[in-house]
């Protein structure tokens, strides 16, 4: 889980508006439930603006990694799989959990090989996104894996049924534009990659 500040004001340079918003002090916390892949935490917090003491609920979730795998001929490795939350088949970038203390690049290359059977010699960390800061405390790393080659050693988890799709970058853009790729973190990771490719990230 990402470290979160506990005090002080945030400043967004170059963003017009009133002075930075203060971080809400956390007065107390307790865990309401532990569900293996996330915990539900209840915080008592104080509004810096009104002084009101309120309850807020947070999902404590492990950090994640999303991988942008680029093959030696410049194509992109995607995965197609069933997602239980939406009860739908999705097309996504390979992704997984970052273990506590683990380098996101190491985690990303491991997940890439396990899900797709593709490997890369090294990963490049492009940055992080926060999946849902209103409710979750985690962040998701975006890792670029260049020069990916198939090694035939895919080892999906028992609960996974993954199909690998290797497509041109233009096809990824088209699938996003058409609403075929709808996974928010995949789209965010792809945008982070596009910024990097344009020399902006």
DSSP 8-state code for residue 7: S
DSSP 8-state code for residue 87: T
Average pLDDT over residues 136-146: 98
- Cα separations (Å) of 175 from 104, 168, 186, 194? 27, 11, 12, 15
Residue with tokens 């506990």, as numbered in its chain: 6
| Sequence-ordered list of residues with C-beta below 8 angstroms from that of 177, at least 6 positions apart, any chain | none
- Cα separations (Å) of 67 from 46, 78, 115, 134, 176? 38, 9, 11, 24, 17
Instruction: Name the helix (H) or strand (E) containing 162.
Output: none
| Given the residues 6, 36, 55, 158, the one annotated as active site | 158
| DSSP-assigned beta bridge partners for residue 70 | 76
**Confidence band for 13, pLDDT divided at 50, 70 and 90:** low
User: How would you classify the pairing of strands 39-46 and 53-60?
Assistant: antiparallel
**Confidence band for 201, pLDDT divided at 50, 70 and 90:** confident
Measured CA to CA, the distance from residue 38 to residue 107 in angstroms comes to: 19
Question: Is 158 among the catalytic positions?
Answer: yes
pLDDT at residue 7 above 90?
Answer: no
Whole-number pLDDT of residue 5 = 47
All structural domains of the chain, each given as residue ranges with its CATH number in brackets, are 26-60 (no CATH), 64-197 (3.90.79.10)
Residue 42 has phi, psi (to 5 degrees) of -110, 125
The pTM score is 0.88
**Confidence band for 160, pLDDT divided at 50, 70 and 90:** confident
| Sequence-ordered list of residues with C-beta below 8 angstroms from that of 153, at least 6 positions apart, any chain | 113, 117, 119
């Amino acid at each position: 889980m990402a470290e979160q500040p506990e005090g002080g004001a945030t400043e967004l340079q170059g963003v017009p508006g009133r002075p930075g918003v203060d971080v809400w002090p956390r007065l107390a916390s307790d865990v309401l439930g532990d569900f293996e892949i996330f915990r539900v935490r209840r915080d008592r917090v104080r509004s810096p603006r009104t002084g009101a003491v309120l309850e807020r609920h947070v999902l404590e979730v492990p950090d994640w990694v999303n991988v942008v795998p680029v093959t030696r001929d410049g194509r992109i490795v995607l995965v197609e799989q069933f997602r239980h939350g939406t009860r739908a088949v999705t097309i996504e970038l390979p992704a997984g959990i970052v273990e506590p203390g683990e380098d996101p690049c190491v985690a990303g290359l491991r997940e890439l090989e396990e899900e797709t059977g593709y490997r890369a010699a090294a990963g490049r960390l492009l940055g992080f996104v926060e999946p849902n800061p209103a409710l979750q405390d985690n962040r998701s790393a975006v890792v670029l894996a260049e020069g990916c080659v198939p090694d035939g050693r895919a080892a999906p988890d028992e609960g996974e049924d993954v199909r690998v799709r290797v497509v041109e970058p233009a096809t990824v853009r088209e699938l996003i534009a058409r609403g075929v790729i709808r996974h928010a973190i995949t789209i965010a990771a792809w945008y982070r990659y596009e910024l990097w490719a344009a020399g902006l990230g």
